């Protein structure tokens, strides 16, 4: 097996606890994984070497929450919202209609375009949800297509009740937990529910998550985005690995997150794009809660694919330090997906990294909106 040495790393943020941040570092890759990491002068001989010219290197970003299986765009809705129309969950239905009308090829092409956009901004792992098909066939095909680009696929049939079931939401829950789950489970690793007023309530969410678990799918939850509610406590009660949004939290919610170790995934691009109050990351971190940052990239409430933007927002708007924000977008995202092989650059990790045209990771927050990611490597190869 041949080895590759990445040399000339001006600053290496390993996010491996025993290594921290190294200067004038090198990293050796073998079989797609980190085989050695340390100071350049101690680097072992490798078959080939690649000089990164003094640039900063960070672990590839782990985007643990996105909705990339869709068609169409909602730029007009965004423009309306920016001029005073409040966001409501019903806007999802616009995308459902466009997604149902799209061909498999159109959906796959839009997904590929967005994944490529993410790669160019340093994301090396992305979770992708269904949730804009909302029929058995449309949800299953979304997940089957997504499975070609990521192992982290999530069945979100319980995104919103589709118009044809508006009069009988209970029948829709029966569909989600019955034939739809049956068709989707083979293509998914996760099951998710939008537990929010106007979407699905606590009992419905519990029923759907338990049905998913019976089919081998691990649970995650959209909760406490638009107001206080039962979702975060439900996620903790069920021992879910992550609960996402967490904008409106009671003291009891924060305690439950700390006690269960459920990761709170914050999605600051949503608050930015909906001009809404940001979650209080500082409160969560100070309480000892595990925090992740993800994009929530979707055509309605947040159409950014940029984790660097999310890092900048987390620092500027949510009270996180640049180091905390980078950790939340790497190790935090990995934790939110139950993964220990990604999100850090310790020995044995998958060699996923972002090379920055900057001397330090601090520039991710210090230079918002600047395309600093010069190269993205996935499993030891230029992506």
Residues that bind Zn ion (CB under 5 A): 296
Which of 296/352 has CB closer to Zn ion?
296
Q: How far is CA 96 from CA 92, 99, 274, in A?
A: 6, 5, 20
- CB of 26 vs Zn ion, minimal distance in Å: 38
Closest CA to 58 of 340, 297, 323: 323
Identity of the residue, 194 or 377, whose beta carbon is nearer to Zn ion in the bound complex:
194
Query: Long-range contacts made by residues 276-279, C-beta under 8 angstroms, separation at least 24?
Result: 276/87, 276/247, 277/247, 278/247, 278/313, 278/317, 278/318, 279/245, 279/246, 279/247, 279/249, 279/318
Smallest distance from the beta carbon of 199 to Zn ion, in angstroms?
11
Take residue 61 and report the two structure tokens written for it: 């970003």
CB 205 within 8 A of CB 158: yes
Choose among 220, 156, 211, 223: nearest CA to 187: 156
- The number of CA neighbours under 13 Å toward the Cβ of 354 is 31
The three state secondary structure string of 101-136 is HCCHHHHHHHHHHHHHHHHHCCEEEECEECCCCCCH
Q: Measured from the CB of residue 246, what is the shortest distance to Zn ion in angstroms?
A: 12
Q: Are strands 353-356 and 373-378 parallel, antiparallel or unpaired?
A: antiparallel
- Residue 85 Cβ vs Zn ion, minimum distance, rounded to whole Å: 20
CB-nearer residue toward Zn ion: 138 or 296: 296
Q: Would you list the DSSP string of 168-183?
A: -HHHHHHHIIIIIHHH
| Least distance from Zn ion to the Cβ atom of residue 302, Å | 8
- How near is the Cβ of 349 to Zn ion at its closest, in Å? 27
The residue of the chain with the least Cβ separation from Zn ion equals 296
Give strand pairing partners of 193. Answer: 158, 221
In the complex, minimum distance from the CB of residue 273 to Zn ion, in angstroms, rounded to a whole number: 12
Note whether 8 and 52 are within 8 A (CB): yes
Would you say 196 or 296 has its CB closer to Zn ion? 296
Q: How far apart are CA 374 and CA 53, in angstroms?
A: 12
Residue 272 CA from chain centroid, whole number: 16
Gap between the Cα atoms of 114 and 239, Å rounded: 31
Shortest separation between residue 316's beta carbon and Zn ion, angstroms:
22
Query: Is 11 or 296 the residue whose CB approaches Zn ion more closely?
Result: 296
Torsion of CA 115, 266, 346, 29, to 10 degrees: 10
Minimum separation from the CB atom of position 238 to Zn ion (A)? 18
**Residue 57 or 292 having the CB closest to Zn ion:** 292
């Amino acid at each position: 097996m041949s080895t590759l040495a990445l040399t000339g790393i001006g600053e290496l943020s390993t996010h491996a606890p025993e290594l921290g941040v190294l200067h004038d570092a090198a990293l050796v890759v073998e079989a797609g994984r980190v085989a050695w990491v340390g100071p350049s002068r101690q680097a072992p001989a490798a078959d080939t070497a690649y000089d990164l010219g003094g640039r900063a290197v960070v672990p590839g970003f782990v985007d643990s929450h996105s909705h990339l299986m869709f068609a169409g765009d909602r730029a007009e809705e965004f423009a309306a919202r920016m001029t005073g129309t409040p966001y409501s969950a019903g806007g999802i239905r616009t995308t459902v209609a466009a997604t149902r009308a799209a061909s498999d090829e159109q959906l796959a092409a839009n997904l590929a375009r967005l994944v490529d956009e993410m790669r160019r901004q340093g994301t090396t792992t992305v979770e992708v949800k269904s949730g804009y098909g909302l029929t058995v066939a449309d949800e299953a095909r979304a997940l089957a297509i997504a499975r070609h680009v990521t192992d982290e696929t999530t069945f979100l049939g319980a995104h919103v009740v589709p118009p044809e079931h508006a009069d009988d939401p209970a029948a829709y829950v029966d569909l989600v937990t019955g034939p739809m789950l049956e068709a989707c489970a083979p293509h998914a690793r996760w099951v998710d529910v939008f537990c929010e007023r106007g979407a699905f309530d606590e009992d419905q969410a519990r029923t759907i998550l338990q049905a998913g678990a019976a089919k081998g799918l691990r649970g995650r939850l959209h909760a406490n985005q638009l107001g206080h509610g039962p979702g975060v406590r439900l996620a903790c009660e069920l021992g879910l690995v992550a609960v996402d949004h967490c904008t409106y939290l009671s003291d009891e919610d924060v305690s439950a997150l700390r006690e269960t170790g459920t990761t709170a995934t914050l999605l600051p691009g949503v608050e930015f794009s909906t001009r809404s109050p940001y979650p209080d990351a500082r409160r969560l971190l100070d309480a000892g809660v595990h925090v992740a940052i993800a994009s929530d990239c979707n055509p309605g409430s947040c159409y950014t694919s940029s984790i660097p933007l999310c890092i900048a927002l987390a620092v500027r708007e949510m009270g996180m330090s640049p180091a905390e924000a980078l950790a939340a977008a790497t190790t935090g995202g990995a934790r939110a997906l139950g993964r220990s092989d990604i999100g850090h650059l310790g020995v044995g990790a998958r060699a996923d990294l972002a090379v920055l045209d900057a001397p330090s990771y601090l520039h991710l927050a210090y230079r918002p909106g600047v395309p600093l990611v010069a190269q993205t490597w996935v499993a030891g190869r230029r992506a």
